[in-house]
Amino acid sequence: MHKKISSALISVYHKDNLEPIIKKLNELGVELFSTGGTLKFINELGIEANAVEKMTTYPSIFGGRVKTLHPVIFGGILYRRDNPEDVIQASEFEIPSIDLVIVDLYPFEETVKSGASEADIIEKIDIGGISLIRAAAKNYKDVLIVSSRNQYTELQEILDAGSGETTIEERKRFAAHAFNTSSHYDTAIFNYFNATENISSFKNSTLHGKTLRYGENPHQEGIFFGNLDKVFHQLHGKEISYNNLVDIEAAVSLIREFEGEKAFAILKHTNACGVAVASTVKKAYLKAFEADTLSAFGGVLISNSEIDLETAEEIDKLFFEVLLAPSFTTEALEVLKSKKNRVLLKLNEYPENKVVFKSLLGGVIQQGANNKTDSEGDLTQVTNLKATQNQIEDMLFASKICKHTKSNAIVLAKDGQMLASGVGQTSRVDALQQAIKKAKTFGFDLIGASLASDAFFPFADSVELAYKAGITSIIQPGGSKKDQDSIDFCNNHDMAMVFTGTRHFKH
């Protein structure tokens, strides 16, 4: 069902790219209605438009809070053109039809992010605009609603192609986008208020999604909702996959733990298979690679420092999926771009995650993000033999990695290098056995190494196993009813143990 646009109501906050639309509507002989700054903008183009105040016989009142909220305006949008009673009432009350509504809402989210005062934020809650959007979208059979400046190009194409006529399919599609806009806007407002009210309600909204090649497996669909450009910029390589993104999230979360140090990490299936800190990026990479030269194949690599030529030449020897870094030298990029599918990403900023959530049992589970990083001030020395400064540094290093490792997790480290890890095991003993075996497989001497555990030891068996492997210092949360058994074993075997008081389960 085609509809000719004879009249349009235009009320926008941003005027960018609006001029061609106004001129096209004028060329088509469309009668224009407008408000405030938009009306002034239209008039300055030399085009006539009717002030909303003349339609309603009311001025803009209460500092602009009430402009379009009037039966003449909403009647013109909502009356059904194919309903005889509606048509009679529109004529009786001299309500003009409005066939096109163009609205751009007050920038509420941007105002919140700017750190503005509460008074300024409240004033950026759009009332008239959001009401116009909902009204026009509801009556999509008769009205076209443009609810975002991002739709101006498509609107221009419709006006050009149809000489001002729209199809029912176009109007319904624009209506769907309008309700997307309005629901997102209301969600942002609710979440602003709920930051202090703590109403138990889950609302999260992202306007834009990126369709991925597929999901976790080729037979699954995959979409990312969010703004990847804010986190990184792709410099080279194939399209990023669902699994790449999951690993990138794990890599970014891990590497941010090492602020102030030159750190390098290699991950596979979200778990670190190599992590190291060193005086140069090249040394850090080589130490990380040594931890597991087998699993590094096809992995995701990340550095918190610039990739230089020397480092790039070493990394170039390895087949990998993704490399992230805050910057790359020109020479390094030339080397790394030699393989066309390698994904090279410039890390822009770390995403701020205050809450995390995931789908579960047909619903959603949410929790506060684990933003706690164990520090020296958190440690309680619980054994007779106190940990040395070097041991403390190694234990804290291992603890940072352990926090980002699937439970049950054990991480072994020495001299700023991860030696091995036990990942995702059903018992802590199994995780430690896995870590010890892996360390020996890659030729590491565990004498003097440090051990980090994501949770307490329920028995002393893990401590005994660590002792037999040559490990001399242990960091763990503590909190078991049998903590004393582990402490006693350490005291009897000249081992140092510290408690952090913080568990770091990761499921």
Task: Catalogue the long-range contacts made by 201-208 (C-beta closer than 8 Å, 24 or more residues apart).
Answer: 202/357, 202/364, 202/366, 204/357, 207/180, 207/181
Active site residue 406: no
Q: Write the single-letter amino acid at 398.
A: A
User: In which residue are the tokens 């669909």 written?
Assistant: 221
Active site residue 269: yes
H-helix or E-strand containing 420? strand 417-422
CA dihedral 53, 57, 63, 69 (to 10 degrees): -80
- CA–CA separation, 364 vs 89, rounded Å? 47
CA dihedral 12, 13, 17, 23 (to 10 degrees): 40
**Cβ–Cβ < 8 Å for 404, 253:** yes
Candidates 70, 269, 337, 493; catalytic one: 269
Q: CB under 8 Å to 101, separation ≥6 — which residues?
A: 8, 9, 10, 77, 132, 133, 135, 136, 143, 144, 145, 146
CA angle, 223 then 228 then 232, to 5°: 140
Candidates 15, 23, 24, 138; catalytic one: 138
- Residues constituting the chain: 507
Q: How far is CA 14 from CA 24, 130, 149, 150, in A?
A: 18, 15, 8, 11
- Cβ burial of 59 (10 Å; 0-12, 13-18, 19+) is exposed
Provide the edge-to-edge strand list for the sheet that holds 271-278: 232-236, 343-347, 320-325, 299-303, 262-268, 271-278, 417-422, 410-414, 450-453, 473-476, 496-499, 380-381
Helix (H, G, I), strand (E, B) or coil at 121: helix
Helix (H, G, I), strand (E, B) or coil at 465: helix
Beta partners for residue 285, in sequence order? none
Whether residue 408 has a cis bond before it, omega within 30° of 0: yes
The residues carrying an active-site annotation are 138, 269
